[in-house]
Amino acid sequence: MKKHVFSGVRPTGRLHIGNYLGAGKNYVSLQDEYECIYSIVDLHALTTLEDTDKLQENIYEAFLDLLATGLDPQKSIIFVQSHVPEINELFTLLSMVTPLSWLLRVPTFKEKARLHPQNVNYGLVGYPVLMTADIVLYKAEVVPVGEDQLPHLELSREIVRRFNEHFGKTFPEPKAKLTNFPLVVGLDGKDKMSKSLGNYIELAATEEETTQKVMSAVTDPSRRLRSDCGHPEVCNVFKLRMHFEPAAVEQLKNDCRSAAIGCVDCKKALATAINHNLAPIRARRAELANNPAHVRDVMADGARRAQNIARQTIDETKHKMGLR
Ligand code: SF4
């Protein structure tokens, strides 16, 4: 039997190339080796989202992007977290074995509490418990993550160990599978590519939008004049070209260091490479967007299949805990 993989995507709207390189591309490559379960984790969005007017639209757009990247609903289960209500039950059950002190020490909780002091809610502190429930509801053994998510997964493993110690072996301890391109820096060259920071390129952007965004990217800050020699190792445009145009990087290293190429031409080449690489995804997305009934069917089928697994896990968990 194939091992289960679980991963969740927050529904912040259309995915960007950071999501694609850091997660989506990897998701597709895992489909043959594992039983993959991918979720749009809409409940997680509620922990910080104050305005939910666009939540349904954001879920749909992210779902469309996942399908467009090449996820195959025949191979993988792709669904929306809240469409399988058993998640709420397991969240409650796991919260009974999770010490509050573990949750209060999580760095991202502290950071979010600092950024949103007006909204430090119970759901926010319980976020790692919900994340653990997401994984173990489907008995996932493998979780594709970026390096920045390793501490969260470690906490999930601790929660699982504690549950298993108290109530007997019930859940596998999930293991991280690091992605090949773990951290994608945004166009500002500083922070992780993210919607909230505005330093992203949407997967579904037009070619013109993509070029415009790439041309605004920050490069090697010490290179002020066209004649200055560059340092590709500190340049994010270089890192993106490494991914979208790997065959060109050795030459680019030399050309950048010797000032044989300027940043404008280098960025134009990056835009061309991104547009070329993403063309099939963008075409597939346009096709899917023209058939919303099909997309809704895939979503409903994913939820049905996920719920079949979830129901069994809940029955077993409640039995172990003495609830039935
Ligand atoms: Fe970066 Fe390219 Fe400019 Fe070198 S030439 S600094 S790799 S944008």
Q: How far apart are CA 3 and CA 32, in angstroms?
A: 11
What is residue 27's predicted lDDT score, i.e. its pLDDT?
A: 93
Token pair recorded at residue 185: 């820096």
What are residue 242's DSSP bridge partners? none
Q: Whose CA is nearest to atom 4 of ligand 1?
A: 256
Return the ligand 1 atom nearest residue 253 CA: 7
Q: Within its chain, how far is the Cα of 97 from the centroid?
A: 27
What is residue 259's predicted lDDT score, i.e. its pLDDT?
A: 95
What is residue 111's predicted lDDT score, i.e. its pLDDT?
A: 86
Return the ligand 1 atom nearest residue 255 CA: 5
Q: Which long-range contacts (CB under 8 A, 24 or more apart) does 212-218 make?
A: 213/187, 214/187, 214/267, 214/268, 214/270, 214/271, 214/274, 215/264, 215/267, 215/268, 215/271, 216/187, 217/187, 217/189, 217/267, 217/270, 218/187, 218/188, 218/189, 218/190
Helix residue spans in 144-235 (DSSP H)? 150-167, 207-215
What is residue 46's predicted lDDT score, i.e. its pLDDT?
A: 87
Give ligand 1 pocket residues (Cβ under 6 A).
219-220, 223, 230, 232, 235, 237-238, 256, 261, 263, 266-267
Residue of 263, 264, 270, 274 to test ligand 1 pocket, by largest number of atoms within 8 Å of CB = 263
Q: What is the DSSP letter of 248?
A: G
Phi, psi dihedral angles at 143 (to 5 degrees): -130, 115
List, run by run, the mean pLDDT of 10-residue segments along the chain (324 residues).
Answer: 94 90 90 97 82 91 96 97 98 97 90 84 92 98 87 95 98 89 82 88 96 96 90 94 93 96 96 98 97 97 98 98 92
Q: Within its chain, how far is the Cα of 20 from the centroid?
A: 8
pTM, 2 dp: 0.91
Residue of 216, 220, 229, 267 to test ligand 1 pocket, by largest number of atoms within 8 Å of CB = 220
- Count of beta carbons in the 10 Å neighbourhood of residue 284: 15
Find out whether 116 and 123 touch, Cβ atoms under 8 Å: no
Single-letter amino acid code for the residue at 147 = E
Where do we find the tokens 């002020």?
224
Distances (CA, A) of 167 to 116, 133, 153, 318, 319: 37, 16, 21, 10, 10
